[in-house]
Amino acid sequence: MSTTKDVLNHHLEMFGDGDLEGLMADYADDAVLITQNGTVEGHGEISAMYEELLPEFDDESVTFSLDDQTVVDDYAYIVWHAETPENEYEFASDTFVVQDGEIVAQTLAAKTTAKE
């Protein structure tokens, strides 16, 4: 069984690679992802969200910095910032709840400024 840290590391690697299938392998079938823009549930909705998000980060000019990472038991927390051609992610954080080697819940909050 994968540890919370293993799942988080895989998740970050798959996001960096733009690997949707790899990302979705980290989530339980009934996972919930809560953001400031709403809640998505299950593989179908979470996958659709990533299908919209991943292309924005698939550019050589993108910068992504993982500023902090904390893992305690079934919980992982990251703080990051990034810049894409479309947006500046000035401050962002994710919290993950991992059970039995799968993400069962995640929150994402970000202060994002669109580029003109």
For each of the domains in the chain, give its residue range(s) and CATH number, in order of start: 4-114 (3.10.450.50)
Which residues touch 90 (CB under 8 Å, ≥6 apart)?
Answer: 81, 111, 112, 113
Q: What is the pLDDT of residue 116?
A: 76
- pLDDT number for residue 87: 97
Q: In this structure, are residues 82 and 115 in contact, taking their beta carbons and an 8 Å threshold?
A: no
**pLDDT at position 4:** 98
In order, the DSSP letters of 38-52 are EEEEHHHHHHHHHHH
The token pair that represents 15 in the structure block: 């996001």
How does pLDDT run along the chain (116 residues), one tens digit per residue? Answer: 689 999 999 999 999 999 999 999 999 999 999 999 999 999 999 999 999 999 999 999 999 999 999 999 999 999 999 999 999 999 999 999 999 999 999 999 999 999 97
